[in-house]
């Protein structure tokens, strides 16, 4: 099963009662373990939390801390990329060359890298004087 297949499968578990826009994410850690996440909405924060953030939280909870690959899927006309906040979170745990596959439920995919999604990412080196 591919990482996109994992994201497709978990997407069905998204909690999106306000937007009905379900997103699934799968992260493969450098260890080889795969972590899954979905978007979760609530009445106070109807735009909800992102699928990528959920997968990152699961990865950290399991003790992994480095991303090797990411897949994100949604039912949209074009592949949906992670929001700005999730791009920064992904950059915290992955290098610029990490492969990111963005997919739609009808099979359209786009491949990119974390560095292409977030050029000029804020990182530890920028705090050397702190």
How far apart CA 46 and CA 26 sit, in angstroms, is 22
The phi and psi torsions of 17 (rounded to 5 degrees) equal -70, -20
Annotated binding residue 4? no
Q: Cα–Cα distance between 62 and 82 in angstroms, integer?
A: 22
Q: Any known ligand binding at 43?
A: yes
Residue 66 a catalytic site member: no
Catalytic residue selected from 12, 47, 52, 66: 52
86 is known to lie in a ligand binding site: yes
| Pairwise CA distance, residues 79 & 104, whole Å | 5
**Does 44 carry a binding-site annotation?**
yes
* Residue 41, annotated as binding a ligand: yes
| Binding-site residue ranges | 39-45, 50, 83, 86
| Binding-site residue ranges for substrate | 39-45
Question: Which residues are designated catalytic?
Answer: 52
| Binding-site residue ranges for Zn(2+) | 50, 83, 86
């Amino acid at each position: 099963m591919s990482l996109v297949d994992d994201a497709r499968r978990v997407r069905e578990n998204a909690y999106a009662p306000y937007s009905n826009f379900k997103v699934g994410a799968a992260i493969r850690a450098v260890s080889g373990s795969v972590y899954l996440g979905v978007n979760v909405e609530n009445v106070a924060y109807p735009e909800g939390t992102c699928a990528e953030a959920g997968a990152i939280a699961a990865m950290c909870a399991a003790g992994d801390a480095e991303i090797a690959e990411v897949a994100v899927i949604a039912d949209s006309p074009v592949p949906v990329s992670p929001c700005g906040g999730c791009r920064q979170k992904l950059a915290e745990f992955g290098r610029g060359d990490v492969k990111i596959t963005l997919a739609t439920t009808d099979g359209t995919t786009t491949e990119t890298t974390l560095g292409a999604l977030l050029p000029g990412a804020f990182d530890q080196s920028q705090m050397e004087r702190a």
